[in-house]
Amino acid sequence: MPLSPRLSVLDLVPVRSGQSSAAAVAASVALAQAADRLGFTRYWFAEHHNMPAVASTTPPVLIAATAARTERIRVGSGGVMLPNHAPLVVAEQFAALEALAPGRIDLGIGRAPGSDPVITQLLRISGPTADVDRFPDHVADILSLLSPDGATLRLTSGREYPIQATPAATAVPELWLLGSSDYSARLAAELGLPYVFANHFSGEGLEQALELYRSGYRPSERHPSPQTILTLNAVVADTAEEADERALPQLRSMARLRLNRPMRPLETVDEALAAARDSDADDVIARMRPRWVIGDADASASAVRALAERHGIDEVMVAPVAGSRADEPADAAPGRIRTLELLVDRLSA
């Protein structure tokens, strides 16, 4: 049955204490397969670098592996952080992915680096990157390079030089612009692109960004009307108490990030419950928690539906951040799978 609102998944491939990257990736692939079976629209991988609790460093690699192990669901990036990459390389990678899984590839693009200043500088001195100040030009370049006709470069001699991301494209990935600011909303509107608001990370400025996007939208050939996705952290369980416990490891991890404390692998639920109380972290969690969906199936589904209706959102992209217990398999994420199962059960129209 169709879902109302449409649901998708955002995955950072979390790594918990005692878990290898291999096991974390295996758990995420299994989660993607569950999302495929349950009727989710798309499954996106984020791009973050040098974070002990995040294994989603290379979206194109994870997309290829996941597309090969799923059947129907769209797979993409949420997103490729364009300043870290040359536009031609991004276009070539996603043209190849589209050839591997025709009609199932999304290219979500973001303007932030997705890393700390040291890693950002390392990326810039060790390989081709894009000038962040030319972000709008580079997005437009990728759109042209991905089209079946490709792009044309005018050389200093005056000769025109044709460039294509792949020799004979029959289809192109769907391009989305990601952001949490007025800048990204205005640019998505100007280019006639669908827009994703990164509510899972901040949530500030949502209403203003959506208003700017919709009021300034310029229809494009592929997207005659604006399309919106809202990301959302969610932990759904059979009881509210279970949801509260499974939410604690990720809440504590985000609090460490906000307090600029050293990051470490995600705690297990057992470790988080046993940890000493921290008033500073508790204050951060108290401010952050209302923007997450944490609860049993009925309450969580009602919250998701109300959020989508209040803001006129076409699709909610859930980041299922339920933690794992110490005795659960390292290559599985039963709490995250249960989050998806319960939302689908209650939101099936």
Tell me, what's the pLDDT at 129?
66
Q: How far apart are CA 173 and CA 119, in angstroms?
A: 28
> For the chain, how far is it from start to end, CA to CA, in angstroms?
6
- Phi then psi for 230, rounded to 5 degrees? -120, 125
**Which residues are within 8 A (CB) of 136 and not within 5 positions of it... i.e. 6 or more apart?**
187, 190, 191
What is the percent of the chain where pLDDT is above 70?
A: 96
Q: How far apart are CA 38 and CA 35, in angstroms?
A: 5
Q: How far apart are CA 199 and CA 130, in angstroms?
A: 25
DSSP 3: B
Model confidence pLDDT, tens digit, residues 51-96 = 999 999 999 999 999 999 999 999 999 989 998 899 999 999 999 9
30: enclosing H helix or E strand: helix 21-38
Q: How far apart are CA 38 and CA 232, in angstroms?
A: 18
Amino acid identity for residue 27 in this structure: A
Tell me, what's the pLDDT at 6?
95
Per-residue pLDDT at 203 exceeds 90: no
Could you tell me how many residues make up the chain?
Answer: 349
Contact 63, 97 (CB under 8 A): yes
Tell me, what's the pLDDT at 152?
81
Q: How confident is the model at residue 134 (pLDDT cuts 50, 70, 90)?
A: confident
In order, the DSSP letters of 67-111 are HHT-SSSEEEEEEEEGGGS-HHHHHHHHHHHHHHSTT-EEEEEES
pTM: 0.94
How does the average pLDDT of the chain come out, rounded?
A: 93
* Range scoring the smallest mean pLDDT among 96-110, 167-181, 297-311: 167-181
What is the percent of the chain where pLDDT is above 90?
A: 79
Question: Can you list the domains of the chain with their CATH numbers?
Answer: 6-348 (3.20.20.30)
Per-residue pLDDT at 344 exceeds 90: yes
